[in-house]
């Protein structure tokens, strides 16, 4: 059913739940998503994305006469957060201007009133290795946007193998330490674009914990509350004093349907309770039961995020938005597994 026709049928009824948006308001919002916000989703780098067409395909998973479920799914997009290219670029700039600069000032014990502070920071940035926790973040884009000249790059996930013997791990550490000295890097920045539960970079943290000769800062650009709690607690337990942790942005609890601590003032809106119930009810249709790596009804780690970036949709988002390994379900945001995001 075409979107235009669907909104006509929705608008002809007045018996919708009170927590549903008025159809004319929601239609205007969907038009904005299609033309300005979600029109550049492109995890495959093919530039063939058409939001309105994919929305129609997604809603086509529901029977035509089940208008209430279709309307529920459309309404859920009012709570769905989508980061486009400009917003992601702004996160890169914020990472440099806030946690990185602040961390350098603190670790170097600079006097913020020193008139030469800017030159001192510029010098130290040139002796800082900017690296990625996993291959889901593009460090080249970060350097370009932040105007950082840095010739070397490391993706720590490639080195952090929990199956390594102690001998193999030491060999890797010796190699990296030798390179860092030859490259004249005094400290290390480790960036990650999105973190869900935090479990996917645990091995990276363990490996970085062995590089005790360098101050290191781990900076997720975006992180779910569950991941933030996990990383903070894990670093504290491991006593990796040389590793600092400062996320740029923690997703608000309103965008998380999984179990997290909420105050009495942070109850989920009714529509999200309904969406969560529907995700549970429809899960067996969405997910291929033969898939050994199939997520739960709230996504991997049961995070239940309502979030995607223009480069990909995290696997911590509800599978009904992204899972496409089952011929019985057409996703809204087709996910590229090769590009990571989430976990």
Alpha helices for 12-138 (secondary structure H): 23-32, 51-59, 67-76, 85-95, 101-108, 117-126
CB under 8 Å to 259, separation ≥6 — which residues?
302
Radius of gyration of the chain (CA): 22
pLDDT at residue number 327: 85
18 contacts: CB under 8 Å, gap ≥ 6: none
C-alpha distances (whole Å) from 126 to each of 149, 181, 207, 243 are 7, 14, 24, 20
Cα–Cα distance, 130 to 128 (Å, whole number): 6
CA distance 121 to 194: 27
Give the pLDDT confidence score for residue 21 in this predicted structure: 93
Model pLDDT, residue 46:
64
Supply 140's token pair.
């080249």
Contacts 24+ apart (CB under 8 A), 50-56: 52/3, 54/332, 54/333, 54/334, 55/3, 55/30, 55/332, 56/1, 56/2, 56/3
Contacts of 96 (CB under 8 A, 6+ apart): 146, 148
User: Over 60: is that where the pLDDT of 265 sits?
Assistant: no
pLDDT at 20 over 90: yes
Distance between CA atoms of 298 and 254, rounded to whole angstroms? 14
- Which residue did the predictor score with more confidence, 163 or 342? 163
pLDDT at 14 exceeding the cut of 80: yes
pLDDT at 289: 83
- Segment 215-219 mean pLDDT: 98
- What confidence category does residue 339 fall into, taking pLDDT thresholds of 50, 70 and 90? low
- For residue 340, pLDDT over 70 is answered with no
What lies within 8 Å, CB to CB, of 214 at 6+ separation is 180, 185, 186, 187, 188, 242
Quote the Cα angle for 95-96-101, to 5°: 115
The neighbour count for residue 238, using CB atoms within 10 Å, is 13
At 44 the pLDDT is: 74
Both structure tokens of 86:
């400009």
Interval 148-189: pLDDT, tens: 987 798 999 999 999 999 999 999 999 999 999 999 999 999
> Is pLDDT of 128 > 80?
yes
Give SS3 for 51: helix
Alpha-carbon distance of 290 to 292, in angstroms, equals: 6
Q: How confident is the model at residue 290 (pLDDT cuts 50, 70, 90)?
A: confident
Give the CATH class of 85-251.
alpha beta
The per-residue pLDDT for range 34-58, each reduced to its tens digit, is 998 888 898 877 667 789 999 999 9
For 70-109, the pLDDT digits (tens) are 999 999 999 999 999 999 999 999 999 999 999 999 999 9
Distance of CA 285 to the CA centre of its chain: 25
**Domain locations along the chain:** 3-78+266-339, 85-251
Say what the pLDDT of residue 40 is: 86
pLDDT of residue 36: 87
**Mean per-residue pLDDT for 213-223?**
97
pLDDT at 261: 65
34-66: burial string, b at 16+ Cβ within 10 Å, e else: beebbbebebeeeeebebbebbbebbebbeeee
Better-scored residue on pLDDT, 81 or 327: 81
Contact, 72 vs 297, CB < 8 A?
Answer: no
Tell me the C-alpha to C-alpha distance, in Å, between residue 18 and each of 57, 71, 132, 273. Answer: 26, 12, 46, 14
Q: What angle do CA 79, 138, 110 make, to 5 degrees?
A: 95
């Amino acid at each position: 059913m075409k979107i235009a026709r669907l909104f006509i049928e929705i608008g002809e009824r007045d018996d919708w739940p009170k927590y549903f948006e008025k159809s004319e308001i929601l239609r205007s919002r969907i038009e904005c998503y299609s033309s300005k916000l979600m029109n550049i989703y492109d995890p495959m780098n093919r530039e063939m994305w058409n939001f309105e067409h994919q929305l129609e395909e997604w809603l086509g998973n529901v029977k035509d006469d089940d208008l209430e479920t279709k309307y529920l799914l459309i309404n859920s997009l009012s709570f769905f957060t989508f980061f486009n290219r400009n917003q992601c670029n702004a996160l890169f700039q914020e990472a440099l201007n806030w946690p990185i600069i602040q961390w350098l000032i603190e670790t170097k014990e600079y006097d913020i009133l020193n008139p030469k502070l800017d030159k001192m920071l510029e010098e130290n940035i040139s002796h800082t290795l900017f690296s990625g926790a996993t291959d889901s973040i593009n460090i080249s884009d970060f350097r370009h946007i932040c105007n950082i000249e840095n010739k070397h790059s490391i993706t720590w996930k490639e080195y952090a193998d929990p199956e390594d013997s102690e001998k193999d791990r030491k060999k890797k550490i010796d190699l990296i330490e030798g390179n860092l000295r030859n490259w004249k890097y005094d400290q290390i920045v480790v960036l990650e674009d999105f973190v869900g539960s935090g479990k996917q970079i645990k091995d990276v943290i363990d490996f970085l914990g062995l590089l005790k000769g360098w101050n290191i800062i781990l900076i997720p650009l975006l992180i779910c509350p569950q991941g933030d709690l996990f990383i903070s607690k894990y670093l504290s337990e491991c006593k990796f004093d040389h590793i600092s942790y400062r996320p740029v942005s923690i997703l608000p609890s309103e965008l998380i349907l999984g179990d997290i601590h909420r105050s009495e003032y942070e109850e989920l809106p009714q529509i999200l309770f309904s969406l969560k119930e529907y995700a549970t009810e429809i899960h067996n249709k969405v997910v291929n039961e033969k898939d050994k790596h199939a997520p739960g009804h709230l996504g991997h780690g049961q995070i239940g995020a309502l979030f995607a970036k223009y480069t990909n949709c995290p696997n911590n988002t509800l599978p009904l938005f992204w899972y496409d390994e089952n011929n019985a379900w057409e996703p809204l945001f087709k996910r590229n597994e090769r590009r990571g995001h989430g976990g």
